[in-house]
Every structure is written in C-alpha cells, then in structure tokens.
Structure 1
Amino acid sequence: MAEIQLKNVSKRWGAFVGVDNFNLTIADREFLVLLGPSGCGKTTTMRMIAGLEDATDGEIAIGDRVVNNLEPKDRDIAMVFQSYGLYPNMNVYDNIRFPLKVRKVDPSTHDERVMRAADMVELREFLHRKPAELSGGQRQRVALARAIVREPNVFLMDEPLSNLDAKLRVSTRAQIKNLQHELQVTTIYVTHDQIEAMTLADRVVVMQRGIIQQVGTPTDIYDKPANTFVAGFIGSPAMNLMNGTLKGGTFTGEHVEIAGLSGPDGPVTLGFRAEDAAVAQSSAEAEINAPVYTMELLGDATMITVKAGGALVSVKASKDYRIEIDETVGLHIPPEICHLFHHETGARLDA
C-alpha cells in the first residue's frame, strides 16, 4: 500500500515561501500530476516527498510510515528526472542494473529484472550501447527502465519529457501512461505542460505561488475551473476571459452582449472555451461583433481571434472557413457555455 499523505506541508527559505500549507492525500496506485508554471512549488513539493528537501513544517507519510526524517534511499521511491542522469561509461544494460547492485539485490535475479524492464520500454536491442549512442527519447526510456527495475512503492517523475521534441513527447507520454497502468504503482508527475497533465493524470493538482488552486480529475478542472488562473492555464487555447458588467442576467462589455446568464449584478469576468462557441450565421445571432485580429489554420479547424473588451477572444470554426484580418465577424456565445468569475479575486461564481 503506497498511499501518500501530505499534512500542512510548507517549505520556506527565509522570508520566501516555496510551498504554503499543502494538504493532499494521494491514493494507492493513483497517477497524480502536479501542474503549474515555473516557480509555483510543484518540484519543491516532489523533492520533499523524495527527501531531497526537508519540509519546514508539516508531515509527509508514505503508506503507514511518516518519512520526514528518513533518508531518500529508505523511502522506497524511484525518481525520473528531466536530465537523464545516465552513466556514460556504462552500457544500457549496466545503467538499468545499477540500482540493483547499489541496493545489494540478489545477483541471480538481476538479469531477469533488467530484461523485463528493458522489454517494457522496448530497449532490448539497445542493451549493449552506451548512452552517447542513443537518441534523447531512448535515453529517457533507459531512465524509465532504471526506475522500473527497482520495483518501488512510488514513482516520482520531474518533467521527464521536457528535453524531447514534440513527436517524441507524444509517443513517450503514451508509453508512460501504459507503463503506469501495467505496473499499478503510485505515481507523482511534475509538469508545466497542461496537455501532459490532462492526458496522463487520474487527478491534477494545479498550483500557483506555492498554493493549491484546484484538485480534481482532468474533466473537472477543464469543465469547472475554480478560478481565472486555472481557467487561463488549462486548455489549448486557454479559456477566453473578458471583463465586463453583469446586470439583470446580461453581460455587457466592449463589442459584447450576452443575455440569459445567472449571477450577481456588478463587474465580473466572463469565460468560455473556443471550441464551445461558433462563428455566427447572422449578425442577429452574434453576441460578439468585432474585427478579426488573426486567423490560424490548424488542419482540423480554423482558429478565429478577435479583440473585444481589451481581450483577445478565440473561437474555433470549420477547417475550410476563411476570413480576412480586420474584417468584422460575428461570434455566437450561448449563455450555457459561459463561466462567471469574481472580478477581483478571480474565484468562480457560478455552480
């Protein structure tokens, strides 16, 4: 059992707060992603779980053991870093085997365990090669195999795909997802890439400035962001956010008027996703009428962006839709796709 509990965990360096009162229970065998921009505290949180950083306050438990005072080697975890950390003088086989030698695992089991780990990441034919003879994707798979061979209670992965190109990121991401399903090991994964978070996670923890902003399934966070930070961070493109005034259920702002909303009168921030809105069939159907700022061809769709209410607002149109920059376009924003947030705090207003 590798349930992980963090209770009131904080990390401070003098006056600087890296992680602030972090509370979370990570279920046994869960794939949890810590997501946020650089400097939000996600890697620090992982390093405290690993024992590479000491928590200033709070308690960290793995299974039924409080591990605050345990050395990293005694926490039964395996880490995969952004840098592969391979030994250049060893071939792939010996790199994968190395944790077994260090931990004095019965040598008679080494070969079977190394071959099983190598097969899981499709490296058997590369076992004789040195790291310098491998591509970036292959080196990352060696690092994964070296973690797998340990058979730990917990995997910790710190931005393991950051150094790979776009195509390799997609294929390696799929491999990590499949591995976690096959191994059934509690996994904590750190990333600033919201696509990685949405595709890999059972649950996502969105962080900003050391504080948890929202915890939920990818669907929860995408469909009901807790605040404007989460709304603006999750999604590709991120949620459109516009400032305006709500009065009697009608939101008004520059170039925009949307009726049929439910919320308190006064200044609010309204949000909606590009794929939920549409180019209006007529000006009478349009809630936004504004000049085109840019048009992007995405292959499966055309992204239309206008400038309205001081914000850039994007809507996805059909892949064959065409319009010129500066030409006025009408956008249809049904009230049921809209999200309302507090104008000052950014907190979600609608249920």
Structure 2
Amino acid sequence: MAEIQLRNVGKRWGSFVGVQNFDLTIADREFLVLLGPSGCGKTTTMRMIAGLEDVTDGDILIDGQVVNDLEPKDRDVAMVFQSYALYPNMNVYENIRFPLKVRKVPEGEHDDRVRRASAMVELDDFLHRKPSELSGGQRQRVALARAIVREPNVFLMDEPLSNLDAKLRVSTRAQIKNLSHELAVTTIYVTHDQIEAMTLADRVVVMKHGVVQQVGSPTEIYDAPANTFVASFIGSPAMNLIDGKIENGTFAAQHTRIEGLALPDGPVTLGFRAEDASLSDSGQITAPIYTLELLGDATMISVRIGGALVSVKADKSFRAEIDDMVTISVPPEICHLFEAGSGERIGA
C-alpha cells in the first residue's frame, strides 16, 4: 500500500518559483506520468517526493504520514535515473545486489532476490559483465533491476529512456509497461516525451512553468485538452491550432471558413486533430500544400494558415506536389475551441 498525497506543494529558490501549488493524490499502485518541457518542474516534483529536494510549501504524505523531514533512505522509494548511475567497478550482479547490502538485508536473501530481479528485465546472461561491456539499453535494465530488488513501496523514474536510441526506447518502454503490471507498485515517471506518457500512464499530469495544466487519463487529455498548451503538447502530430474569429456562427481565418459553431462573435483559437480531418472535393480549408511526408501507413499533408502549419492525414497512396491546391474537410463537430487570450478551453 503506497498512496501519495501532495498537498499544495511548492518549491522556490529565492524569487524563482520551480513548482507552485501542486495538489494531487496518487492512488496505490497507480502509474502516474509527470509530463512537460524542460524546466517545467516535473523533475523537481519527483525529487521532493524522493527527499532529494526540500519542500518550500505544503506537505508530502506517503501512506498518510508526512515525510517532509524524512531522509530519502527512510521513505521506502527507489529511483531510476536518466544517467543509469551504475558502479563501474562492480559487475551487473553486484550492482543489482548493492541496495540490499546498504539496507542490511540478510545475506541469505540476496541471491534469490538478485536473480528474480534480473530475470524480470532479462539480464540473466549478463550478470558477470561490467557496465562498460553493456549497451545503453542493457545498462538501463540494470538500473531497473537495482530498483526492483529493493521491493520498495514507490518507484520514481526520471526520464529513464532519454539516453536510448529510438528502437531501444520502444522495446524498453514495453518492458517498463509490463513490469508495472507485474510488480503493481505505485510509480511516478517523469518525461518530456508525450508518446511515453500516453502509452505508459494511468494518469498524466501536464506541467508548464511549475504549474499543473491538466490531470487526466491519456484519453481524457488527448480528447479534451484543457488549454492550447496541452493541445499543442499532446499528440503526434500535435493538434492543429488556428487563430481566427467567430462571425455569425462561422469561424473565419485565412483560407478557412467553418460554419455551424454556436459561439458569440469574437476572436477564438480553433483546434482539430490531423486524423479527424480529411481531404475532400469540397471542404472548409482550401490552401496550397506546404509539405508532404510519407509515413508508411499514411501521407501527412501540411498547409500554412497564417503563422500556423495545419496537418491532415491522407491515404498512403495520395500523390501531389508542393504548391498544389488541396481542400480539407473539417466538420464542426470535430473542432475544439479555445479562448483567444487565455488559451483556455471553451465548453465541455
């Protein structure tokens, strides 16, 4: 059992605010992802939970106990770092075993626990090797095994895949997903990669400048982003966002007229997903092709509207040239609308 509560937690260094009013309960066995760009406060939040940073405001509770003043070693959390942080003079077996020695676990338990952890991340054939003899993916798996062997109440993972190449990231991500299911331990995972967040999380916390922008399941955040920042951060490609204005129920912008929007007149930002729109003989956007990208299963076509690039997915067999005119169908029911000034979502 490891429920974590953050009650209006904040972190400041002098006048600089790193995290502000972070208020959230993380359920026992939940896989929570903190997502946002560099400098948004996600790693600082994790380090406060771990005890590596002092809390300036608010309280952190683990299983109902305030842990603000507890040392990291007394919080029963295990952390996996981006840099692996392995001991180069020890082989894989000893690296995995090291937390058991530090915590004075009876030696009779060591071998069984080390081998159980190594089997979970498929390292049995590498236990005799030194870290320098391993690939980046294997080293990250050693770091995972070293966290697993502790059997902690909470796993904290700080961008563990960012040093891996694209193919290794996919396979290691699948391994972490499977491990989280198998271990059923409360996990907090920090990343700037929205694909990691969408594929791993039970819930995602999107952060910007130390402030939580939205908390929800990956589906909730994808389908109903709270503001234009979340809309532009989640999805590959990100949501198309077009600045324009409503005139008599019609959204108007360069190359664009979308009717049937029941909103008062005035400036708004309109958004839609590339996969929700389509090419058509008659549509709401008519513009020259800015670029084409063959994705294998589809062709991504982009047009420029004002200062924004707007993308739509077409069939993989679609053929055209840059500057050819295309017409894009954007039904009003697929559109998301945001306030022009604040960027906040309009309506449910």
Q: Normalised by the size of structure 2, how large is the TM-score?
A: 0.99
For residues 127-170 of structure 1, give each alpha carbon's deviation from its aligned partner in whole angstroms, at most 9, with x where no partner exists. Answer: 00000000000000000000000000000000000000000000
For residues 326-351 of structure 1, give each alpha carbon's deviation from its aligned partner in whole angstroms, at most 9, with x where no partner exists. Answer: 11111110111100000000000031
Q: What code does the residue aligned with 1:296 have? A: E
For residues 95-145 of structure 1, give each alpha carbon's deviation from its aligned partner in whole angstroms, at most 9, with x where no partner exists. Answer: 000000000001000000000000000000100000000000000000000
State the partner residue of 2:334.
Answer: 337
For residues 30-74 of structure 1, give each alpha carbon's deviation from its aligned partner in whole angstroms, at most 9, with x where no partner exists. Answer: 000000000000000000000000010100001121100000000
Q: How does 1:25-104 map to 2 (within 5 A)?
A: 25-104=25-104
User: 1:182, CA displacement in angstroms?
Assistant: 0.3
User: What secondary structure is seen at the aligned counterpart in 2 of 1:116?
Assistant: helix
User: What secondary structure is seen at the aligned counterpart in 1 of 2:290?
Assistant: strand
Q: What code does the residue aligned with 2:291 have? A: T
5+ long unaligned stretches in structure 1 = none
User: What secondary structure is seen at the aligned counterpart in 2 of 1:49?
Assistant: helix
User: What secondary structure is seen at the aligned counterpart in 2 of 1:117?
Assistant: helix
Q: Are residues 1:212 and 2:212 paired? A: yes
Q: What code does the residue aligned with 1:6 have? A: L
Q: What code does the residue aligned with 2:75 have? A: R
State the partner residue of 2:197.
Answer: 197
User: 1:249, CA displacement in angstroms?
Assistant: 1.8
Distance in structure 1 (CA, Å) of the matches to 2:131 and 2:40: 32
User: 1:265, CA displacement in angstroms?
Assistant: 1.8
Distance in structure 1 (CA, Å) of the matches to 2:161 and 2:263: 42
User: 1:309, CA displacement in angstroms?
Assistant: 3.0
User: What secondary structure is seen at the aligned counterpart in 1 of 2:230?
Assistant: helix
State the partner residue of 1:243.
Answer: 243
- Select which of 297, 310, 317 maps to 2:307: 310
State the partner residue of 2:256.
Answer: 256
State the partner residue of 2:11.
Answer: 11
Q: What code does the residue aligned with 1:143 have? A: A
Q: What code does the residue aligned with 1:241 have? A: L
State the partner residue of 1:287.
Answer: 284
User: 1:310, CA displacement in angstroms?
Assistant: 2.6
- Select which of 317, 321, 344 maps to 2:318: 321
User: What secondary structure is seen at the aligned counterpart in 2 of 1:172?
Assistant: helix
State the partner residue of 2:270.
Answer: 270
User: What secondary structure is seen at the aligned counterpart in 1 of 2:229?
Assistant: helix
Identity fraction in percent? 77
- Select which of 297, 301, 310 maps to 2:298: 301
User: 1:247, CA displacement in angstroms?
Assistant: 2.2
Q: What code does the residue aligned with 2:310 have? A: V
User: 1:314, CA displacement in angstroms?
Assistant: 0.3
User: What secondary structure is seen at the aligned counterpart in 2 of 1:331?
Assistant: strand
User: 1:176, CA displacement in angstroms?
Assistant: 0.3
User: What secondary structure is seen at the aligned counterpart in 2 of 1:112?
Assistant: helix
The answer to whether the 8 A contact 1:241-1:311 is kept is yes
- Count matched residues: 348
Distance in structure 2 (CA, Å) of the matches to 1:255 and 1:346: 22
Distance in structure 2 (CA, Å) of the matches to 1:108 and 1:70: 29
User: What secondary structure is seen at the aligned counterpart in 2 of 1:110?
Assistant: helix
The answer to whether the 8 A contact 1:288-1:333 is kept is yes
Distance in structure 1 (CA, Å) of the matches to 2:224 and 2:248: 23
Q: What code does the residue aligned with 1:255 have? A: H
Q: How does 1:161-240 map to 2 (within 5 A)?
A: 161-240=161-240
Q: Normalised by the size of structure 1, how large is the TM-score?
A: 0.98
